Amino acid sequence: MSFPLHRNPPFRAEHLGSLKRPQHLLDARYKDALPASQLTPLEDKAIDAIVKTQQDLGFRGISDGEYRRHMFWGTFWPSLDGMEEIQNPPLDTFRMYVPDIAAFMETGHKPGESVYCVGKIRHTGTSTYVDQVEYLKKLVPQERWGDIKLTMAAPNWYHLRYVDGKAFPKDVYQNDEEYFEDVARAYQVELDILYKAGLRNVQFDDPNLAYFCSEKMLEGWKTDPNNTCTADELLTKYINLYNNCISKIPADMHIGIHLCRGNFVNSRHFSEGGYDRIATHLFQDLAVHTYYLEYDTPRAGGFAPLKYLPQNKNVVLGVVTSKFPELEDKEEMKRRIWEAADVVAQGSGGGGKTGEEGRRQALKRMGVSPQCGFASHAEGNLIDIEGMKRKLALVRQIADEVWPGEA
């Protein structure tokens, strides 16, 4: 399940997919509300430019910046039979203690839309993401098509946020297991379609798994009389769901997962808490190849959980923040990566070796990135495009000095 980092994803220098949009594109979409016939050429031109930026900066895992999306989760869920997007969703369907919902309410931002299960979930056989992949293939040499990165919404995204019993109608699904089975089938179809289109590099964006590190969320869970399982039991269900979703991928398809702690208005985060309480389950039972972990602030805790990283998996450390323009100290970031490598080396990720040899072994399964995307929502964080470029250049510089001569 591991991949040689110098040849296949993940790469030493990574970013998390979403990039700042140019203002003229935001104006065209939201202020001027241009129809697709006029908006698409503007998106194309902006994507051409941001792909060139990534290439000029030396990044191999190329994305379209999510420039065709309004939010990071894209268009997969509303495209499924049995799922329906609802504007101004009823608040009584939400668990108010789930971190993103809590943040919305605290800042006066009621969820503007959400997607609900209204019938049996089935993939229609048509992917809303294929055109994004096909366009990127025009901009990247054919021998690098496998580097193209597509981000996808988590399969649990429209489950955790809803009050127990509100995620699906009881006359459609009797329990979570039935619901998750159809969700997994839909993802299996989607991944198959994307693979046949040439995609080999998938990154799931999942704030929900990080929420299981949040003491606030866990306290809310314990006091919620509607819940019929413990938080740990639900985490196990989600890991099983993921494993089912990706159970049929070919051997040369790379699957990564980003445990996001949220980007919101004014670069606000949603959740806090170290990975300690979920590390064993997360690293050893979730059958992905790579973990993209946020480590830009103390709210993510320390590196100690990385000792549970198996020898056949990779971790990309998000030590550079995407939220603010101030540049991190390069030497301090390198020191943190070496510190993390020493922790990885303590477990099987370092091959059981200690000292410099253990660190070298651990570094083979590591990379560096910003901690999150720069524009999970279209407007983006409190940083401009030039500031973003400086951050990405810093990531590349760090990678070049920690892993000389590697992608």
CATH of range 23-402; options 3.40.50.920, 3.30.1550.10, 3.20.20.210, 3.30.70.260: 3.20.20.210
Q: Indicate if the pLDDT at residue 215 is higher than 80.
A: yes
Q: Indicate if the pLDDT at residue 298 is higher than 60.
A: yes
What was the pLDDT predicted at 32? 97
What was the pLDDT predicted at 349? 64
Q: What is the Rg, in whole angstroms, of the alpha carbon atoms belonging to the chain?
A: 20
Average pLDDT over the chain, rounded to whole? Answer: 93
> Please, which pLDDT band fits residue 2 given cuts at 50, 70 and 90?
very low
What was the pLDDT predicted at 350? 66
Q: Indicate if the pLDDT at residue 269 is higher than 60.
A: no
What was the pLDDT predicted at 160? 96
Q: Which amino acid is at 352?
A: G
What average pLDDT does range 376-395 have in this prediction?
A: 94
Nearest CA to 70 out of 18, 117, 127 is that of 18
Q: Indicate if the pLDDT at residue 352 is higher than 90.
A: no
What was the pLDDT predicted at 36? 96
Side-chain-facing half-sphere of 308: CA atoms under 13 Å: 16
Query: For 312-341, what is each residue's pLDDT tens digit?
Result: 999 999 999 999 999 999 999 999 999 999
Return all residues near 327 (Cβ < 8 A) that are at least 6 apart: 390, 391, 394
Cβ atoms 18, 374 nearer than 8 A: yes
What average pLDDT does range 249-275 have in this prediction?
A: 79
> Please, which pLDDT band fits residue 264 given cuts at 50, 70 and 90?
low
Nearest CA to 54 out of 179, 46, 269, 294 is that of 46
The Cα–Cα gap between 18 and 234 comes to 28
Nearest CA to 72 out of 135, 151, 131, 155 is that of 151
Q: Which amino acid is at 156?
A: N
**Weakest-pLDDT range from 179-188, 276-285, 342-351, 364-373:** 342-351
Domain extent listing, the chain: 23-402
Q: Which amino acid is at 325?
A: P
Q: Find the distance separating the first CA and the last CA of the chain, reported in whole Å.
A: 19
What was the pLDDT predicted at 305? 96
Q: What is the pTM of this model?
A: 0.95
The Cα–Cα gap between 39 and 2 comes to 40
Report CA dihedral (396, 402, 403, 407) to the nearest 10 degrees. Answer: -10
What average pLDDT does range 105-123 have in this prediction?
A: 88
